[in-house]
Structure 1
Amino acid sequence: MSTSNSRPDNSIWSRVGNHVTDKAQATPSFEIWGIVSDRLNVAKYRPRRISDAEIADVSSKNGTKQYMLRNPNNNQYLKLGEEELFLWDLMDGKNTVKDLLLEYFSKYNEFGQQVLLALIGLLKNNGFLQDKVHPVMRLISAKMQKRKFLFFLVRIFKFFIHQQYTTNRVDKYFTWLYRYFARVFFTRAGIIIGLIFVLAAPVFFYYLFFVKQTGLLLTANLGHPPSSLDVIIAILLVYGSVFLHEMAHGLAVKAYGRKVLRFGIVMTFGMPMPFVDTTDIWMKGRRARIVVSFAGPWFNGILSSLLCFIGLLLPDGDIRAVVILSGMLNTILFVFNLIPMFESDGHYIIQDYLGFPRLRSESISFVTREMWKKILHAEKWNRKDGLLFLYGLMAVSGIVLMTFLGINMWFSTLRGLFNKIASEPVLALEILGFLVLMTLVFSFVRNGFRFTKKRARIKLPALD
């Protein structure tokens, strides 16, 4: 009854079908829908791992087997358990997902669908499999979001809270510095001498601050009233000390033969700070990670004692005051970075020593949720619960304290600034000029990082 059969079917699927039918006469085993079905069938997927991945044994102190997987092509890292490593070794492009599940069941006597699928997802997203991932919907969504004004405001907020501008072409410079300058600090003699300086740092600070009544304001130490010069000098000294602190982390990585991945600037609550990516040390053991975390405060302690000692030998004057102030600020950085209340070097040292890779997040989760459930149901606490409670209490207190100090600092600064502008309107033009200058500097630095990244991706042809 239908008239559709009287019309030739010129649809694209009809033409594809006719084409496949014609080809199938020459190759009867070729079936396009069978291939499509196989491609959409997860059980028949054959994951193939990249051939140049690096694996390191980073088992924890309590004996739990853990392995760190590194992708040298994009410097991505994944921590695997014993079961995940077993599956990783089988991903040679020949075994299907079904084969992997059968092998997993044969070895561990249980089905590992969730373990395998989660592992494949992580491997795909981080480039450890030879399949290319094309997140089309995510890219389209990101493109559409960029047109919204709210997205622009969110980007500004993220920029001030946490934003990184780095370059990945710094490892050769750290290698040179370690080879020709810093190697001596990691010898036995260098460690012993460094320990003496580190232990002397709090002694110098106590003598200067409490006995000699040396303050942290340069103008006050010189007998002048406090001024904006105090803030400028303090900022320069702190930035210089933090820069050397981060350099020490990177040099410690080179001491263990690993790679410094990135170096640059990270924005933290609107303040730009130097930053060194030491992730590659995860390919070494627990001791190496502790040494790298401690290297920054260690160098601040050495520098503090050295500057305070030199400052005490100098005659009274501006140079002596600046040197002593720099030494005292390094003592503060040394102590502050070892306090585990914040996400500091001290936190990472304790985390690696105890063998809890997620100590901070687990402890905060325990204090805010799990602890109250245990109290409500009168459950008995174990040793781990007590540890999570104590550390969670410190972590939450640190978050509250840092938030309070950050808000108070910006509120006090802005209030004082507005009062100053009200009495001296010309100051507004000076501030505007300063912001324009900082914008130009920031734009120059950002474009410089982008240029180095773009240049690193360009492969020049070989010259004959």
Structure 2
Amino acid sequence: MFEGGSLDTKQIHFPLLVTMLIAMMLIHEFGHVVASFNFGLKPRFLGLGIYMFQPIIFTDTSDAWELKRGQRVVSDMAGIYFQLILGAVLSAWMLFFGVNLTLLIVSVINIAAIVLNLDPFLRSDGYWAVTDYIGINNAHEKTFSYVKNLMFRKILRKETNFQMPKLKPAARKFFIGYSFLYTFSIAFFTSLGVLYLFAVLKSSALNKNIDLMKSAYSQGNFADLGAAFTGLVIGQLVPLLFLGLIIIRIVKYMIKTIKKR
């Protein structure tokens, strides 16, 4: 499986890997479908989309707002529940029939997907579960507006047009805590992204790929030129573009929210 400390890709069955990853996404969405039918709702459709620069499969369960709050939370988490079942099946299979590298990779990706879906700050299942638990919509905008309002009143001594959502005491405390955590996470990861951008721009790998491209071009070696260009795009330019777009979007959102007074 590992030769000389590196991954032996020859043991990876790529058609099976792709098939199982697609199946994993379908199983996740099937969980939402089952939960919806269980509560008497019929999902509108199953579709394909792009989220965070990656392809996703999604189920339109917009009618879930007709359900009770607890039922909505169950529906939100149903996909993760089905992924946990998938993880248990994969683990049992490898336990009885031996570790298979392809299945191991699927298992790791499945666990990573579960963790990401539990993230309450991205617009994933964890976020929708938090939104439904609190009982408000547009949680991102309202939580950030709450912190902004607090800063305006306490620091700048200015009033805003923010109105605290009408919540029960427990949900209100949860909302306040979530507001600060969400705002902190935005500030933290934005700062981290900016630092990473500078690190990539100053990295030796970036300069090395550029030098390799210049050298290959001057020698007419288009094979090395293509390899260096591919390394530059995948290793530096794509992450830079990805982080840059995210940072720009966050900054624009923060400016827009601050202007709403």
Taking the aligned partners of 1:264 and 1:336, their CA distance within structure 2 comes to: 20
Taking the aligned partners of 2:194 and 2:57, their CA distance within structure 1 comes to: 19
- What amino acid is the match of 1:338? L
- What amino acid is the match of 1:336? L
CA contact (8 A) 1:246 1:296 kept: yes
Give yes or no for the alignment of 1:298 onto 2:81: yes
- What amino acid is the match of 2:6? P
TM-score, normalised on structure 1? 0.36
Superimposed CA distance per residue, residues 345-377 of structure 1 (whole angstroms, 9 cap, x where no aligned partner): 12222222222233332111112x201123134
What is residue 391 of structure 1 aligned with on the other side? 178
What is residue 97 of structure 2 aligned with on the other side? 314
What is residue 243 of structure 2 aligned with on the other side? none
Q: Select the structure that is richer in helix.
A: 2
Give the deviation of 1:408 after TM superposition: 6.0
Q: Percent identity?
A: 20
Aligned pairs for 1:15-414 (under 5 A) are 220=2, 225-226=6-7, 236=18, 238-315=21-98, 320-367=100-147, 369-376=148-155, 377=157, 387-399=174-186
Taking the aligned partners of 2:133 and 2:108, their CA distance within structure 1 comes to: 29
Taking the aligned partners of 1:400 and 1:234, their CA distance within structure 2 comes to: 40
Superimposed CA distance per residue, residues 193-241 of structure 1 (whole angstroms, 9 cap, x where no aligned partner): xxxxxxxxxxxxxxxxxxxxxxxxxx64x666348888x7998355542
Superimposed CA distance per residue, residues 136-162 of structure 1 (whole angstroms, 9 cap, x where no aligned partner): xxxxxxxxxxxxxxxxxxxxxxxxxxx
Unaligned runs of 5+ in 1: 1-218, 432-464
Taking the aligned partners of 2:83 and 2:15, their CA distance within structure 1 comes to: 18
Taking the aligned partners of 2:142 and 2:39, their CA distance within structure 1 comes to: 30
**SS of equivalent residue, structure 2 residue 43:** coil
CA contact (8 A) 1:297 1:335 kept: no
TM-score, normalised on structure 2? 0.60
Superimposed CA distance per residue, residues 78-124 of structure 1 (whole angstroms, 9 cap, x where no aligned partner): xxxxxxxxxxxxxxxxxxxxxxxxxxxxxxxxxxxxxxxxxxxxxxx
- What amino acid is the match of 1:310? W
Taking the aligned partners of 1:302 and 1:392, their CA distance within structure 2 comes to: 32
Change (3 A) 1:249 1:373: same
- What amino acid is the match of 1:225? S
CA contact (8 A) 1:342 1:399 kept: no
What is residue 77 of structure 1 aligned with on the other side? none
**SS of equivalent residue, structure 1 residue 342:** coil
What is residue 154 of structure 1 aligned with on the other side? none
- C-alpha RMSD of the superposition: 4.3
Aligned residue pairs total 204
Change (3 A) 1:270 1:286: same
Structure number with greater Rg is 1
CA contact (8 A) 2:36 2:75 kept: yes
Change (3 A) 1:324 1:261: same
